A and B are shown apart, each in its own frame.
Chain A
Amino acid sequence: MTRPYTMSFSLEERYQAGDSPLHRLDPRVKVVVALLLIVGVVATPERAWPAYPLLWTLLGSLAALAGLGPFRVAKLATVALPFALAAAALPFTLPGNTIGVILGLPVSDAGLARFLAVMLKSWLAVQAALLLAMTTPFPDLLWALTSLRVPAALVAIVSFMYRYLDTLRDEAERLIRARTARSAAIPARKSGGRIAWRARVAGGMVGNLFLRSYERSERVYAAMLARGYDGRMRLLTPPPLTRRAVLLGALPVIGLIVIEGLALLLWR
C-alpha cells in the first residue's frame, strides 16, 4: 500500500549506510564537490550534447564507487521530472526553425533543444545532490556546513529541526490516523462535509500540532536549561581537513573541468 499521507515522493531519509571511499570522504569536501558538480552541470552549454553522457558517466562512476548502483541513483533522480511541466511550453514558444508539428502547434528546434537541455541538466543535478545525501549522515552534513561558514545559529535551528522531525511527524500521523478512524465512508458515496468544513478540520489538526510542538519546545528548553544550556551549541572539534581528502575530492572536479572544457571548445 502506498502511504497516502506523505506529501512528498518519499519522506524516508536518503542516507545509505556504507563504508565506501565516498562515505568516508570528509563531508566538507563532499559538500563543496557536490555544489561544484551541480554548478558545472547547470553551466553546461545548452547544445553540447556529447557532454551530457560524459557527465552522467562521471556521476555514475561516483555512484558505483559509493556502492549505490549508478542506475538506481539515475532512477531516483527522476523525482524532479514532474516539474518538466514548467518548461513544457518551450518547444512551442521559443523562436526557431520549425521541425515538426504536435497537436497542431509548430515545434521549434531551439525550443526543443532548450527543453531537452533543461531536463537533462535537472536530472544530472539531482544525481549529484543524491550522491551527497546518500553517502553523508545528516549530522555530518550539519557540522560540515558550520565549517563552511553557514551561520551557527541557522545550523543549530536546522539540527533541532532534524532531531524533532520524526517525533512531530509521528504526532501528525497520529492526528491523521485519528481523523481517518472517526471518518466513516461508504465507497462511491460522497462523504464528509463541504470543502470548507474539511479544511477547518485539517486546520484544527494543524493548530493542535502547533500547540503540541510549542509546548514540547518549552519542555525541551527547560530540560536543556537544567543541563546547563546557555545558548551555545558545544560541538566536538571537527577533524582536520586532510590533504588526501582534498585530493580525492579534486578528482571528480578535474573530470568536470575536462568535460566542461571540451563542451566549451568543441561542442558549443
Chain B
Amino acid sequence: MFLPPILAMHIPDGFLSLPIAVIGWVGLIVLVALALRQGRESGQGTLGERQIPLMGILAAFIFAAQMINFPVAGGTSGHLLGATLAAILLGPWPAALVMTSVVGVQALLFQDGGLLALGFNTINMGILAAFVGYATYGGVRRLLGESRGGQLASAAVAAWVSVMAAALATTLELALSGTTPLGIALPAMLGVHALVGLGEALITVGALAFIQQARPDLAGQPAQAATQGTTWIAVGLLIALVVVLFSPLANPNPDGLERVSLDLAAQGNFDDLDTADDPADSESLAAGQAPAYELLPDYTVPGIDNEAVSTILAGAIGTLIVAGVGYGAARLSQRRKESGRMA
C-alpha cells in the first residue's frame, strides 16, 4: 500500500480550527458565486444551456483521470490533480466550478477531506490551483511565444506552480489552526509537493500534447482570450498568500525555523524558566488551549506569537474583503456602463 500523495492535501475535519474553517467556507461561497455569475455573463443567457452538461462531464473526467497513475519509484506513483489542465482547457472560472464539484464529491461521497474543511480544500486544490495555474500559464506563455513547445513548457511550469501554491495554502491553513508547526511543515510539504508537482507537470504536458495533436481546436484558448479580470485574481490570491507567509518573518521575534531549532535545542531550559509548578501558569495555559470560545485559539505556533496570528488573520480577511468589494464595485460600474450604453 502506498500513500497517495494527493492525500496530503485533502484536509480532514478536526485539523482546521473552527474560525479558519468558517473563513474557508465564506471564501468558497464568494468565489463560487463569482464563478457562476461569470459563467452567466460569458455565456448567452443562463449558465446551463451548454455549459452545465459539459462541466459536469468534465468534472467526472477529472475524477476519473486522477485514477490514471504512473509508477515513479519505490512503490509510489504520480497522478493528476487536474486544476491546471482544466484551467488551460476551459478557462479559469469554469475550471473553478469543475474543481469545486470534484473536491465536493470527494468529500461528500468518499469522505476524502472533511465537510467543514471543504471550504479551504476546494479553494486550495480547486480554485486557487486553477487561477494560479492559469495566470502562470498565461504569463510564461507570453514570454515564450505562441509556439507549440512554448505552450507545453508554460503548461509544465503552470502545473508545478499550481501544486506548490496549493501545498503552501494547505500548510498555512493548518499552521494558523495550530495543527502543525509552520517551521517544520512548510519545508516538508513544499519538498514533497515539489516532486508531486513534477508528476503533475509531466502528465499535464503529456495530456496537452495529445490534445494538440488530436484536436488542436480544443488545446487551450489563445493567451489573448484570457479575460482581464482573471490574472489579477490569481495575482491577488498569491500576494495574499505571500504576505501571510512572510508577515511572521517581518516580526521582531525570531523567524519560524530559527525558533523551532531554538525550541528543540533548549526545550528543557524553557521549561525550567516557565515555572511549570506555578498553578496559575498552567491554569492559564489550559484555559488558553480551548479554541472554542475565542475568535482565535490562544496558541503559539512556533515563530508566531498570538498578536502576529491575529494580525495575519486580520490581514488575510481584510485582503479577501477588500478584493471582494473592489471586484463587486468594478462589476457594478461595468454593468452600469453597459446598461447606459444600451439606453
Binding site for B on A (CB under 8 A): 2, 5-11, 13-14, 34-35, 38-39, 41-47, 77, 79-80, 82-83, 85-87, 89-90, 92-98, 105-106, 108, 110, 113-114, 118-126, 129-130, 133, 138, 141, 151, 153-154, 156-165, 167-169, 171-173, 175-176, 192, 195-196, 198-211, 213-214, 216-217, 220-221, 224, 230-233, 264, 268
Contacts and interface: CB of A to CB of B under 8 A. Distances in A.
A129 B114 CA distance: 8
Contact of B270 (A95, A154, A169): A95
Contacts of A233: 48, 52
Contact of A209 (B1, B61, B106, B208): B61
Contacts of A167: 60
Contact of A35 (B50, B61, B105, B115): B115
Interface string B177-220: 01111011100000000000001001111111111001100100
B55 A7 contact: no
A214 B58 contact: yes
A200 B202 CA distance: 7
B109 interface: yes
B86 to A, nearest CB: 9
Contact of A133 (B54, B64, B108): B108
Nearest to A142: B108
A168 B4 CA distance: 21
Top-8 shortest CB links A-B = A203-B206, A160-B56, A207-B210, A122-B14, A199-B202, A125-B13, A121-B14, A231-B48
B57 A164 contact: yes
A201 B206 contact: yes
Contact of A138 (B85, B109, B274): B109
17 contacts: A47-B290, A86-B179, A90-B181, A125-B12, A126-B111, A133-B108, A154-B100, A171-B64, A173-B67, A176-B67, A199-B199, A202-B69, A206-B203, A213-B64, A217-B58, A221-B50, A230-B49
B80 A206 contact: yes
B112 A8 contact: yes
Contacts of B7: 82-83
A129 B98 contact: no
Nearest to A162: B105
Contact of B60 (A106, A200, A213, A232): A213
Contacts of A79: 111-112
A222 B277 CA distance: 75
B67 A172 contact: yes
Given A158-B104, A172-B68, A176-B68, A164 B60 contact: yes
A39 B205 contact: no
A95 B59 CA distance: 44
Q: How large is the interface on B (under 10, 10 to 19, 20 to 34, 35 or more residues)?
A: 35 or more
Contact of B111 (A14, A89, A154): A14
B52 A39 contact: no
Contacts of B18: 39, 42-43
A203 B205 contact: yes
A42 B56 contact: no
B115 A163 contact: no
Given A93-B184, A158-B56, A210-B58, 10 more contacts: A90-B179, A97-B271, A114-B178, A157-B52, A160-B60, A164-B60, A204-B209, A209-B64, A210-B207, A213-B64
B143 interface: no
Given A47-B289, A157-B98, A206 B58 contact: no
A158 B36 contact: no
A141 B104 CA distance: 12
A98 B58 CA distance: 52
A94 B260 CA distance: 9
Nearest to B206: A203
A130 B111 contact: yes
Contacts of A83: 7-8, 10-12, 15
B244 interface: no
Interface string B284-317: 0111011111000001101000000000000000
Contact of B101 (A42, A161, A196, A208): A161
A42 B115 CA distance: 11
A34 B206 CA distance: 41
B221 interface: no
A97 B69 contact: no
A11 B203 CA distance: 22
A221 to B, nearest CB: 5
B251 interface: no
Contacts of B108: 133, 138, 141
Contacts of B58: 210, 213-214, 217
B137 interface: no
Given A7-B4, A45-B292, A164-B57, A231 B46 contact: yes
B229 interface: no
B313 to A, nearest CB: 17
Contacts of B140: none
Given A160-B53, A161-B102, A96 B285 contact: yes
Given A7-B67, A163-B56, A216-B57, A125 B181 contact: no
B66 interface: yes
